Structures are given as structure tokens and as C-alpha cells.
Amino acid sequence: MKQFDYVRPATVTEAVAAAAQPGAVYLAAGTNLLDLMKGNVTRPDRLVDVTHLDGLDGIERLADGSLRIGALVSNADLAHDGEFVKAYPAVAEALLSGASAQLRNAATVGGNLLQRTRCAYFYDTASRCNKRAAGSGCDARDGENRSHAVLGWSDRCIATHPSDFCVPLLALDAIVEIEGKNGRREIALDELHRLPGNTPENESALEPGDLIVAVRLPPAARGFAAHARYLKVRERASYAFAIVSAAAALRIENGKIAEARLALGGVAAKPWRARAAEDVLKGVAPSADAFQEAAWRALTDAKPSGANAYKIELARRIVVRALTLAAAGTPARIPALPASPFASTSGAIHA
């Protein structure tokens, strides 16, 4: 790990000023940053430690029905907040399906949004990677890429965004509050992460010094609590990143879908909102056919970036299943294996 200056600002303003310098990065829990620094993927000159800042670790319900989550709230504290679980069960389920309990205890809301891809070629500093070193090339393109992107990728980059948390947040139209050199602003989560295009090194809409201070869920996000699920297929029962995941949230009125929300994880450089699929579900009764149609719409633009055509079919099936589970209703308690296809394996067996 490269030597760095350690700065512990007393206020957000001080933090922004300190982090606006070239080579500076924010340190929150560090669960991703330190990993990257130990792998020499990132070699910052200055760490601006925001963990001691006041006022960034609260969960508050605003007068208009929004929920504001401080950027320093830990993933575990959020996922175990009783009110939060009731109102936004798919978000809690996604959080609990990610990483391990230890990492969730440390990792923060803000940090989760900004975690970097798990592409092996990004991590392997001997490989060419346009994201890590702009213009160097992409060794994933013809490499071991069965887990790479099927949506929104470019020849320059086929990496995926690894967050579980962001997937239901995106489905629920989350808003990101940012403190920057020019004061506070907010953007839709959908605008935070960028697709690679020709500049995969530009991963987000953040400018130097920008600090995510909170994530807000708008009032309408509460309307899906009764029918919201997150589903994640992975290669271990736990402690593994998604191959593909989906968050599905439905508002069902009088037997019809008044509004549907759908987002996918593990398929693109950003969490992927499937608005076309949402549109076909609006106003129809929940049914297998409708969900199939939505799944086709969600993956219309998908194409393999390597040995990963299976992910397209898998994503379709996950969409159908996530919608089916959401329609069936949010379970009273988050399953023992959150977001797993194996919610229950204890049932009787029959031929």
C-alpha cells in the first residue's frame, strides 16, 4: 500500500475541500477502498476520513413521507432497522444478501453506492483495463468473462457493478444527496453510475471533492412494501457476488398491477432499471404470461460480451421469478437465506 496522508476533517465543508485535491479519496469504512489499495488497484495520495463527521449516520423520516438515510449508516444497521424493513423490504433483503455480516457491519450506505467492479482484470494490475488505466485496453473482452456484462457494455469495458443494495434502490427511484465544492445538490441514483461508452474510467457523475451525504427514498417508494422482493443467483449459498439479480416491486390494486418497478444487478456497469418491462406490467393482472413478456422486454437490448450468453436467459428467468415472488407478497420476515432461490429447503419430497 502506497504511503498516504491521512486527514480527518471536522466538518463536511472541510472534507470537501480536503478531498478536492488531486490524488485524494474519501475513506469511510474502507471495506472496498482498503481492498483496492492492498491490491494496488488504487494508490491514493491522501485519505480523507469521513467516519468521524457528525450528522451522517441517521435514518430519518421526512415530513413528505420520504426517508433519508445518512451516508455513514452501516449496511447492517439499515437492514436491521425495524421500520426500514417494513417499508422497504426488498432493499433490506438485498443488503442482507450481500457480502458477510462482518462486512455489512462496517460497510456504509455511501460506500456501497461507490463500490468498484469485481472484474478480475480490473483487480489484476498486470492486465490491461480501461477503467483502471484509461486507454490501456480491455483484457476482459477476450478473457475469462462468463460473469461480465450483457447490457450497456462497450468494446472498451464489459465490467459489471457489483452492488446488491443499489438494485432495489434504483427500482424505488432513490435520490443521492451530494455535498460538493459548490454546495449541495441531488441527483437520481440512475444518474450516479455511468455506462462505459468510450470513457469507462468515468464511472460516476461525481466531481472531485463530491461527498455523498445521504440517500433518499421518495414518498412513493413506500407504496410497494406489500409486494417487493430481491432475488440473487450466485455460486455459493452466501458470501458471493450475484451472477444476476433482480429487484421487483409491485403496487397491486384491485387485482391489477397499478405500478411495477424492476431493476437488474450483475448485468451492466450500473444497476439496470428495466422501464420497458415496468410499462408492460402497468394495469395488467399479475400472471405468468405478463411476467414473461416483461422479462423479454427487460432483456431486449441484451447481448453477450463474451462467454456469457447464458446470463441473458438467466436474467429473463430471474425477472419472471422475482416478479412472481413479489406478486405473491412480501414474506413476514426476511428469509433465512436472503434473496436466495432456496428460501426453504425443508419441504417434503415427492416423486
Partner 1 sequence: MPELNLTSAPAHLRHGSSIGQPLTRRDGVLKVKGQATYAADNHPPGMLFAVMAVSSIAHGRVSSLDVAAAKRHPGVVDVMTPDHKPELAIDPEIKTNPFVFRMEVLQSNEVRYANQPIAVVIAETLEAATEGAVLLAPRYETLPPLVGLDAGKSYVPPVVGVGNPSEIHRGDVAAGLAAADKQIDATYETPAQYHNAMEPHAIVADWNGDHLQIDMPTQGLMLSLGRVAELFGLAPDKIHIRSPFLGGGFGSKGLMAGPPVLGIMAAKLVGRPVKLVLRREQMYGPVGHRAPTRQRLRIGADAEGRLTALDHHARTVSSTFDDFYEPAADASHTLYAAPAIRTSHDAVRVNTGTPLFMRAPGEATGSIALESAIDEMAWACGMDPLAFRLKNYAEVEPITGKPFSSKALRACYDQGAARFGWAKRTLQPRQMRDDAGLLVGWGMGTATFPALMFQAEARAAIRRDGTGAMEIGAHDMGQGAWTALAQIAADAVGLDIDRVTFKAGTSDLPDAGIAGGSAHTATAGAAIHSAGAAVIAKLADLATNDERSPLYGAGNTGVIARDGRLIRRDDEGRSESYTEILARAGIAEVEARGTGAPNPAAMEEYAMHAHGAVFAEVKVDPELGQIRVTRMVGAFAAGRIVNPHLVRSQLFGGMIWGMSFALHEEAITDRRTGRIMNADLGEYHIPVNADVPPLDVITVEEHDPHVNALGIKGVGEIGITGSAGAVANAVWHATGVRVRRFPIRIEELLTGR
Partner 2 sequence: MNHSISLTVNGARRDFVLDDPRVTLLDLLRERLHLTGTKKGCDRGQCGACTILVDGKRINSCLALAISHDGADILTIEGLARGDRLHPVQAAFIAHDGFQCGFCTPGQIMSAIGMMQEAQAGNDPERIRECMSGNLCRCGAYAGIVDAVLEAQAGADETNQRRSA
**Neighbour-count burial for 44-63, b at 16+ CB within 10 Å, e otherwise:** bebbbbbeebeebbebeeee
Pick the closer one to partner 2 by CB: 10 or 285.
10
Pick the closer one to partner 1 by CB: 12 or 240.
240
Binding partner 2 by CB under 8 A: which of 35, 57, 124, 313? Answer: 35
Pick the closer one to partner 1 by CB: 193 or 321.
321
Q: Which residue has the cell 453506492?
A: 113
The residue ranges that bind partner 1 (CB under 8 A) are: 1-3, 40, 118, 120-121, 124-127, 139, 142-144, 146, 233-240, 243, 310, 313-314, 317-318, 320-321, 337, 340-345, 347-351
31 binds partner 2 (CB under 8 A): yes
Pick the closer one to partner 2 by CB: 103 or 188.
103
Q: Radius of gyration (Cα) for the chain, nearest Å?
A: 20
Cβ within 8 Å of residue 162, ≥6 positions away: 115, 116, 117, 118, 241, 242, 266
CA distance 33 to 41: 9
279 binds partner 2 (CB under 8 A): no
Binding partner 2 by CB under 8 A: which of 103, 187, 220, 284? Answer: 103
8 Å CB contact between 269 and 152: yes
CA distance 345 to 351: 16
14 binds partner 2 (CB under 8 A): no
Residue type for 287, please?
Answer: S
Q: Which of partner 1, partner 2, none lies near 254, with the C-beta cut-off 5 to 8 A by kind?
A: none
Binding partner 2 by CB under 8 A: which of 1, 10, 134, 328? Answer: 1
Q: Give least dist CB 109 to partner 2, A.
A: 16
Q: Which residue has the cell 498516504?
A: 4
Q: Give least dist CB 52 to partner 2, A.
A: 8
120 binds partner 2 (CB under 8 A): no
Q: Which of partner 1, partner 2, none lies near 329, with the C-beta cut-off 5 to 8 A by kind?
A: none
SS3 228: strand
SS3 38: helix
CA distance 173 to 218: 7
Report the relative pairing of strands 175-180 and 211-217 from DSSP bridges. antiparallel
Q: Give least dist CB 351 to partner 1, A.
A: 5
Q: Give least dist CB 54 to partner 2, A.
A: 14
In degrees to the nearest 10, what's the CA dihedral of 90, 230, 291, 328?
-60
Sheet holding 46-49, edge to edge: 5-7, 46-49, 24-27
Instruction: For the segment 207-236, give every residue that binds partner 2 (CB under 8 A).
Output: 236
Pick the closer one to partner 1 by CB: 64 or 236.
236
Residues that bind partner 2 (CB under 8 A): 1, 3-6, 8, 27, 29-31, 34-35, 38-39, 47, 49, 51, 76, 80, 99-103, 105-106, 236-239, 336-338
